[in-house]
């Protein structure tokens, strides 16, 4: 029974990617709100902290933990600069509107720089919108920046300590999901063989759905393998180095 439940969970969420993302986001928001509530922060800071924690968690899409840490570290100054500009331009209607349009362009243009550019653009846009939403003022910037910094720290704690997801672990869970979905497809095909005329359409639909889900898992495994794990990257670099011909030392003579 326990193995069947584990296979069902693995098949419903390959790699547990959605579960991991949900736990990180909810945990970061809850931790930020708990700390701010203990500090007796007002409702504007609670809203700002919750939204900043959510953005800092779901905006980062890199697979490697090192790249995630760099993006999260770069995202904090981007967020602080964005909320500061929002507070300064909040009272300047036309200048604020022009900057908002420019910020949207920069956020979209940042997508050409990969996952990191996309994440930083999304963080900058969302935090600027957050400053407009809570009506940020220059006098309230220290506490607002503190709430945003707390949100980023909560996101980092959940991502790297509480709910970590290494490429090797994700690949292993994807393999379990592939096996579980393969077993479901085989079971659906057996049901199709035993189905009567009235149940034929339903059995065919189950086989088609199982085949599509199996192909989806295979594509996820292929994408994870293309990203590579630390072990495979080290192995690949070592094999590439072993294939590189070594040049003779300088000054040595070649004899025929």
Picking from 108, 245, 227, the residue whose alpha carbon sits closest to that of residue 171 is: 227
Contact 71, 115 (CB under 8 A): yes
Per the structure block, which two tokens stand in for 188? 């659906």
Please indicate whether residue 52 or residue 194 has the higher confidence score (pLDDT): 52
Determine how many CB atoms are found less than 10 A away from the CB of residue 46.
16
Checking if the pLDDT of 254 tops 60, the result is no
pLDDT-based confidence at residue 49 (cuts at 50, 70, 90): very high
Question: What is the mean pLDDT of the segment spanning 125-141?
Answer: 90
**Using CA atoms, how far apart are residues 137 and 134, in angstroms rounded to an integer?**
9
Residue-wise pLDDT for 108-121, tens only, equals 999 999 999 999 99
Q: In the prediction, which pLDDT does 228 show?
A: 61
Domain chopping of the chain, boundaries? 19-162, 167-238
Query: Look-up: residue for tokens 């920069």?
Result: 106
pTM of the entire structure?
0.77
CB atoms within 10 A of CB 201: 10
Tokens encoding 204: 């065919």
Report the pLDDT value the prediction gives residue 239, as an integer from 0 to 100.
Answer: 46
> How many angstroms separate the CA atoms of 184 and 178, rounded?
10
Q: Mean of the pLDDT values across residues 21-35? A: 95
Say yes or no to pLDDT of 200 above 70. Answer: yes
**Per-residue pLDDT band at 13 (split at 50, 70, 90):** confident
């Amino acid at each position: 029974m326990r193995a069947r439940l584990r296979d069902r969970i693995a098949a419903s969420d390959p790699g547990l990617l959605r579960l991991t993302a949900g736990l990180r986001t909810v945990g970061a928001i809850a931790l930020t709100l708990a700390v701010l509530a203990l500090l007796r922060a007002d409702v504007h800071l609670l809203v700002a902290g919750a939204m900043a924690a959510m953005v800092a968690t779901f905006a980062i899409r890199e697979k490697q933990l090192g790249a995630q840490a760099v993006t999260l570290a770069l995202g904090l100054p981007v967020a602080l600069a964005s909320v500061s500009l929002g507070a300064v331009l909040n009272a300047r209607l036309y200048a604020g509107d022009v900057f908002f349009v420019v910020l949207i362009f920069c956020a979209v243009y940042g997508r050409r720089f990969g996952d990191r550019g996309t994440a930083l653009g999304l963080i900058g846009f969302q935090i600027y919108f957050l400053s407009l939403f809570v009506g940020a003022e220059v006098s309230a910037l220290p506490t607002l920046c503190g709430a945003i910094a707390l949100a980023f720290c909560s996101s980092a704690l959940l991502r790297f300590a509480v709910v970590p997801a290494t490429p090797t672990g994700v690949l292993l869970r994807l393999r379990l999901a592939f096996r579980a979905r393969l077993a479901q497809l085989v079971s659906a095909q057996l049901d199709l063989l035993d189905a009567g005329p009235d149940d034929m359409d339903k059995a065919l639909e189950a086989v088609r759905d199982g085949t599509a889900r199996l192909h989806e898992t295979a594509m996820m495994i292929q994408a994870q393998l293309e990203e590579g794990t630390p072990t495979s990257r080290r192995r690949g670099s070592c094999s590439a180095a072993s294939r590189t011909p070594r040049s003779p030392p300088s000054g040595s003579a070649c004899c025929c």
